[in-house]
Amino acid sequence: MSKKGIPHTATVSFVFVFMIFLFSFQSNLSLLSRSNVTSSITKSKPVIVSGEREEQVARSSIQSGIVRGKREEQPELSPSHHPGAVTKAREDMRARARAPSPSPSRAEVKNVITCDCSHDYYDMWSINGPTLLDPITSTFFAIGATDSTPPDFTVKFHPYPRKTDENAKSKVNELTLTSAPPKSSCGITHSSPAIVFSTGGYTGNFYHQFNDVLLALYITVNSLSLNQDVILVVTNWSEWWVRKNADLLHQFTKHPIVNMDNQTRTHCFPSAIIGLITHGPFVVDPALLPQHKTLLDFHALLENTYGPRGGYASASDRPRLLLVNRRNGVGRAILNLKEVLEEIEEVGFKAIVFEPKRDAPVRETYTLLHGCHAMVGVHGAALTHLLFLRAGTVLGEIVPIGADWLAKTYFERPAGVLGLEYMKYKIEINESSLAERYGADDLVLKNPSGFVNGNYTKAKVYMKTQNVKLDIVRFRAYIKEVFVKARRFMDNEG
């Protein structure tokens, strides 16, 4: 017995039970804490941005200042699109898509500014409720913000899916998103949500026109559970660009496209998405889309938009080969073009020299490409026209020194997805103009990756200053193989 008359064994039992209860409570508390932390850092869904700390993080990741730049053709590779970055970005996006994520109630996310900012290529901001656009100040107001949204939350953003490419961003207008109350009321009210993007950046280049905007818009629309029509709102409005792509843009909306750069009245929307989603260079990753669409589905959309209704009548008994010609002075030109054309004709092709023009109607270009049996050209943005080719068409890419990874990533892989017959002609050192400039044994020619060594400026040696003079004997053997496949395709498909 103890001094107070309580049995000693009862005292021990009570202490033992209390210790078990305390340990269990602490364990559950620890698990709950870890669960909350895990939920708060999950990146597969847009995160709710609120509070002083989140605002500081957002501001530090997005540059300020409205900057405009002259449109010019850009090289096809940006620092964020080197081999390691592309592979890692795609793996990260798929991992986030598979990861569990918190499921906040509608009340928690309603009228809150959110950001899906966890991706290597892009950020996408959302205003999940009534939104007012003041075009004079390029500001989007969350006009239905609740008490849970900080009244002074503001973020500035360049709506272009190359978030680490400062050169591209310098050509994109900066927009402001804020939960502060607007000083004006709705001038024009829309019943559909807005998708806001820029046609600045590198969109004067045909590759970037598709990858950075048109394909990204397709991915964005198919990534969101909108299930309704949308309003397209464009900054860095380019009249020729919008007019040229109007038929395809109106596949995404039945409404007039809003040029926010020349508006004088405010616009109100039920919600807004600011920015576009990209999966990487010419990639539509089905694992990241609710309906598992691929580049083939985008290809079908182009056919539906631009394809002639009567099919493609053959006007020749010879296969048609379209040779993409780059003018001398822009890099990667074929210096012995006349000889190359003679070989193409000699082997049995009807040759068509194609020099893309900025203002050429897309429908006419599509019809020309879609009726060909082969397209051959030196690596460059114009090979983006592979999107206009029929499955089974031969795509021949002449790959200069230093462009192996670019050729594989930008054109060979997409060609495989689209069912094209990809055939590479890899030039030898003696076929490159760089051999005359540097010498055949120079590091520039012997080891391009060692020469570049991650320095993007050095990569321009291969993209901007290199031309090719094809070895006619080698090219003859190559073009004969192209002809065999193109002829077979013509016999089967017309």
263 in the same domain as 128: yes
Domain extent, residue 250, equals 47-290
CB 471 within 8 A of CB 430: yes
* Distance in angstroms (rounded) separating the CA atoms of residues 129 and 381: 39
pTM of the model: 0.78
Q: Is the pLDDT of residue 275 over 50?
A: yes
**Whether residue 277 sits in one domain with residue 320:** no
Q: What are phi and psi of 242, to 5 degrees?
A: -65, -40
Confirm if 489 and 376 have CB atoms less than 8 A apart.
Answer: no
Residue 315's pLDDT is 61
User: Tens digit of pLDDT for each residue in 178-193?
Assistant: 999 999 999 999 999 9
Quick: pLDDT tens for 156-174.
999 999 999 999 999 999 9
HSE-up (13 A, CA, CB side) for residue 219: 26
For residues 200 and 342, membership in a common domain is answered with no
**Model confidence at 58: pLDDT above 70:** no
296 within domain boundaries: no
CA dihedral sign of residues 302, 304, 307, 311: positive
- Local structure of residue 119 (DSSP, 8 states): -
What is the pLDDT averaged over residues 330-340?
A: 95
Q: Please, what's the b/e burial string for 374-405 (b: 16 or more CB within 10 A of its CB; e: otherwise)?
A: bbbbbbbbbbbbbbbbbebbbbbbbbbbbbbe
278 and 313 in a single domain? The answer is no
Question: Which residue is associated with the tokens 């100040």?
Answer: 137
Among 223, 257, 290, which residue terminates a domain?
A: 290
Answer yes or no: is 6 within a domain.
no
- CATH number, domain with residue 420: 3.40.50.360
Angle between helices 337-347 and 472-493 (to 10 degrees): 40
Same domain, 322 and 427: yes
So what's the pLDDT on residue 144?
Answer: 74
Q: Do 316 and 436 belong to one domain?
A: yes
Same domain for 150 and 285?
yes
pLDDT, tens only, 357-404: 988 999 999 999 999 999 999 999 999 999 999 999 999 999 999 999
**Has residue 146 been placed in a domain?**
yes
Domain closes at, from 242, 258, 290? 290
In the chain, how many domains are there? 2
Mean pLDDT of all residues in 6-29? 42
CB neighbours (10 Å) of residue 412? Answer: 18
How far, CA to CA in Å, does 361 sit from each of 161, 177, 240, 247, 250?
A: 26, 36, 11, 11, 16
Same domain membership, residue 99 and residue 226: yes
**What pLDDT shows up at residue 147?**
59
Mean pLDDT of 23-52: 35
> Has residue 385 been placed in a domain?
yes
Residue 387: inside a domain: yes
pLDDT class of 149 with cuts at 50, 70, 90: low
Task: Specify if 15 maps to a domain.
Answer: no
Same structural domain, 319 and 239: no
The residue type at 47: V
CB 154 within 8 A of CB 55: yes
- Could you please report the per-residue DSSP string of 49-111? P-HHHHHHHHHHHS--S----------S--GGGSHHHHHHHHHHHHHHHHS------HHHHTT
DSSP 329: T
Q: Do 199 and 325 belong to one domain?
A: no
Share of the chain above pLDDT 90, in %: 69
Asked if residue 386 belongs to a domain, the reply is: yes
Last residue of a domain, one of 290, 324, 339: 290
Residue-wise pLDDT tens digits, 74-119: 344 554 455 555 555 555 555 555 444 433 333 333 448 999 999 9
Number of H helices, E strands in the chain: 19, 18
Q: Residue 459 has which token pair? A: 């990569």
- What's the per-residue H, E or C state across 167-227? HHHCCCCCEEEECCCCCCCCCEECCCCEEEEECCCCCCCHHHHHHHHHHHHHHHHHHCCCC
Residues 284 and 342 in one domain: no
Task: Please say if the pLDDT value at position 311 is more than 80.
Answer: no
Is residue 196 one of the residues assigned to a domain?
yes
Say whether both 277 and 325 belong to one domain.
Answer: no
Q: Is the pLDDT of residue 20 over 50?
A: no
Secondary structure of 256-282 as H, E, C letters: CCEECCCCCCCEEECCEEECCCCCCCC
